[in-house]
Amino acid sequence: MADEATRAAFMEIQASMIELTGKLKQVQNQMRNKEGDRKRAFLTLEELRPLPEDTNTYKSIGRTFVLEPKTVLEGEQEQKLKDSEAAVASLQTSKEYLEKQTAEVENNLRELLQQEPGIAQQIMSMSM
């Protein structure tokens, strides 16, 4: 009976570890995408700022380019920059939370393996 309970506990820990690892990878990918967006907006702003105010600037909409005042484009890029920075900060918080959860699950697994040394041998025999 204890063997079945231990096996069920291991399966539960394993499932939560797989779920947390997947979520962590997803958050890391989202962070990478938002960092790219932030960098693109920053570089675009760096190119727009030195231009004279009367310069014709165009905004890409699909395959079309629309004439927009420089101030409008600067405002849009600044907003993109702020939004990306806020998203990265939020994702960083989520990442830290998921990392703590992963560490907690790893500790639970260690405790289980220390309490039931026989389960480690069973796990090794199942994986081969």
Q: For residue 127, what pLDDT is reported?
A: 59
**pLDDT tens digit sequence for 61-79:** 999 999 999 999 999 999 9
> In b/e form, how buried is each residue of 102-127, taking b as 16+ CB within 10 angstroms?
beebeebbeebbeebeebeeeeeeee
Tokens 């480690």 correspond to what residue?
A: 120
Please spell the DSSP secondary structure of 61-98, one letter per residue: ETTEEEEE-HHHHHHHHHHHHHHHHHHHHHHHHHHHHH
pTM for this entry: 0.79
Domains of the chain: 1-127 (1.10.287.370)
pLDDT at 8: 84
Averaged pLDDT for residues 1-30: 87
Q: How far is residue 16 CA from its own chain's centroid?
A: 18
